[in-house]
Chains A and B, each alone.
Chain A
């Protein structure tokens, strides 16, 4: 059963917020970063490098792997501040959020020492290799397979929707290492770290509905992976991937994707003296949702710090958070009778256009709404 409990923000966390605000203000004043909605998909390697130098990547990891041994709640604060500003954190986001944690927990010592310090330095980027053309929500049905060879494996198959694969150095792939077992569909899967510069890999773009190169298709043809790049026991990939998905789901990126639009709506609304009275409730509703979500997500971060594995709670935060993100452009168009348009006649119309087009992906990526609700239903004891 789901029981999330709010917890207060400590003075240390508040001090960290101040530090982040100063850092981001400097970046913005210097014109070094472009601010966007959905900013955790925006690739900017130089910015990620600066984040790494300041210790904002891999914060929770042990110092010997380049981390800061800080808490999940501190990571939560950094994530919130970055996303509130619309900072382009896309290059390091996936490695910081999930791949690094996977390597720390399931990786070999060699993988840890070789990769984690580079990730924490903001110099090594990852992609997620789960989905395939015929395996979306039903992830256990993946058919990309790895064949055992001397000292390692050879991967053959195809992954799709791989966000930022064209900019990433590595991919964590979920592959079949033994033939499907009809009695246990989840057996025989393994996660492996694939070097995207290895031979036998072909990455081609898939353009999203805005025409942006957001994700990719990857073809593997006998692509080599060393034994020391396997995560966990061979055949235990399902347990690994479930852990990775839980890391993916409860953070501020699941309710802050459209925050810059909300902030712009707010700004426009309070400076528009012609706004009819009563329209405050439309935006006020979104503010109430955001305040509740911040408390929910913060409380999941605290559960992680206490060593719990809040799979149901993470699914719940993502489900509620995605619905909130998707409501922002809908409220925006009710408040301002402007047609969303590109290129920019004014920033609000442009943002509205961007977020309207991004919004369908919010409740698909990282597990669809229906799949998340299935997980919650399991947490309620119904499945």
Chain B
């Protein structure tokens, strides 16, 4: 991993530990952005990590941004940081306007004469711009939507995170600035990118849930010894560690993939992570017993997000099928499809 990634990891981890401990934890509804936490994040420049340096960002690439995404998952940070960072990067790269402050992004339904609906927008109620992706006959279009021009319906995922709907009428839609998606920037398309970032967040949440369960197993005494001494508990935690590591590695690998391989690797990352999420969440609840099932205990911050995130931006069944189709397009030889090499790689 690069130096930027290490720096980012340290800086962001410290910030989350300090600020989420202070403000985020009391905020059980998780429906509003905690002001102090958000200000600290914005002041640290984390929302601009992906924006190029010439546009006053940190110019970080996908691997570094994924490190940040993993941390938001590991801390169950109740903020649209991933969304804002992606929205700013995409807006900048497509010359689209974006309001200062929090932003979000989502796949939009088809455009019609009556307007456009965008559902499942993370934190839609609390952001200044929503980047919407609309698929048209000539490919994807990117819209910079002003939520003030839209009707908002509030909703939430099963972790209580806002997932709102915006409805634009024909007039508001006509006034909305748009640009065709640049494949150099998003070679795998928008859904795979969103899926990869959810996968990275899941890998972070899995690491924390595993850590909580492991610590609890060392502390909790039954039958005169820590429950972690019982082999049944050890085997469960070891299996969870395997699932969490598979998710982390698949996610990392997708961040490193070249443009030709990007969607395949992103599909694998989301499929593997969504599958792992269910196992790790269930295992953590089993190890923590009744206390882990309470609202008071922190475990649900991670497990409820795992259950929500595994279905967002395509669940594992969706990405497994998609992965199969993508690999199948490369022809009947599975190995060369999975491990493609360019014949002149050696001469580079």
Contacts and interface: CB of A to CB of B under 8 A. Distances in A.
Q: Is the interface of B mostly helix, strand, loop or mixed?
A: helix
Contacts of B43: none
Contact of B332 (A85, A266, A278): A266
Q: Is the interface of A mostly helix, strand, loop or mixed?
A: helix
B238 A376 contact: yes
27 contacts: A11-B346, A14-B342, A14-B346, A15-B341, A17-B341, A262-B334, A266-B334, A270-B328, A278-B321, A281-B317, A284-B271, A288-B275, A291-B264, A291-B265, A292-B250, A293-B246, A320-B246, A370-B235, A372-B238, A374-B235, A376-B242, A377-B235, A380-B237, A381-B214, A382-B217, A382-B228, A382-B234
Interface in A1-33: 2-8, 11-12, 14-15, 17-18, 21
Contact of A292 (B241, B268, B336): B268
Contact of A299 (B217, B249, B327): B249
Contacts of A282: 320
Interface residues of A, number: 59
A283 interface: yes
Interface in A299-316: 299, 313, 316
Interface in B302-324: 316-317, 319-324
A8 B259 CA distance: 13
Contact of B343 (A18, A284, A292, A379): A18
Contacts of A288: 250, 267-268, 271-272, 275, 316, 319-320, 323
B321 A296 contact: no
Contacts of B322: 284
Contacts of B335: 84-85, 259, 263
A320 B242 contact: yes
A280 B321 contact: yes
B204 to A, nearest CB: 12
Given A288-B267, A293-B246, A280 B334 contact: no
Nearest to B228: A382
Select the residue from B217, B242, B268, B269 with max chain A CB neighbours within 10 A: B242
Interface string A268-283: 0111000000101111
Given A269-B328, A320-B243, 20 more contacts: A5-B248, A6-B251, A21-B341, A269-B324, A270-B328, A278-B321, A280-B325, A287-B320, A288-B267, A292-B247, A292-B269, A296-B245, A313-B245, A370-B235, A373-B239, A376-B238, A376-B241, A377-B234, A377-B237, A382-B237
B218 interface: yes
Given A267-B334, A381-B218, A4 B245 contact: yes
B348 interface: yes
A217 interface: no
B333 interface: yes
A2 B319 CA distance: 27
A291 B319 contact: no
A159 to B, nearest CB: 28
Contacts of A280: 320-321, 324-325, 328
B322 to A, nearest CB: 7
Given A11-B346, A84-B339, A281-B324, A291 B268 contact: yes
A84 B334 CA distance: 9
Contact of B218 (A17, A283, A374, A382): A382
B90 to A, nearest CB: 24
A377 B268 contact: no
Interface string A39-53: 000000000000000
Interface residues of B, number: 59
B316 A285 contact: yes
A291 B265 CA distance: 8
A290 to B, nearest CB: 7
Contacts of B241: 2, 316, 376, 379-380
A304 to B, nearest CB: 16
B234 A373 contact: yes
Given A11-B345, A293-B246, A382-B228, A283 B324 contact: yes
Given A4-B245, A292-B247, A382-B214, A287 B237 contact: no
Contacts of A262: 334
Select the residue from B214, B251, B321, B334 with max chain A CB neighbours within 10 A: B334
B1 interface: yes
Contact of B323 (A4, A5, A8, A287): A287
B252 A6 contact: yes
Nearest to B267: A288
A248 interface: no
A80 interface: yes
B249 A284 contact: no
Contacts of A236: none
Nearest to A291: B268
Interface of A: 2-8, 11-12, 14-15, 17-18, 21, 80, 84-85, 259, 262-263, 266-267, 269-271, 278, 280-285, 287-296, 299, 313, 316, 319-320, 323, 370, 372-374, 376-377, 379-383
Given A288-B267, A288-B275, A291-B268, A18 B325 contact: no
Select the residue from B316, B345, B348 with max chain A CB neighbours within 10 A: B345
A267 B332 contact: yes
B18 interface: no
B256 interface: yes
Contact of A319 (B242, B255, B339, B342): B242
B252 A5 contact: yes
A319 B241 CA distance: 10
A285 B242 contact: no
Chain A to chain B: the 7 pairs with minimum beta-carbon distance, closest first: A15-B346, A284-B320, A6-B252, A280-B324, A373-B238, A284-B324, A377-B234
Nearest to B264: A291
Given A285-B271, A292-B249, A383-B234, A263 B333 contact: yes
B345 A15 contact: yes
Contacts of A14: 341-342, 345-346
A264 B336 CA distance: 13
B251 to A, nearest CB: 8
B253 interface: yes
Given A380-B237, A382-B218, A382-B228, A287 B253 contact: no
A374 B231 contact: yes
A278 B320 CA distance: 10
A6 B253 CA distance: 5
A381 B237 CA distance: 11
A282 B324 CA distance: 9
B185 interface: no
Contact of B338 (A4, A291, A319, A381): A291
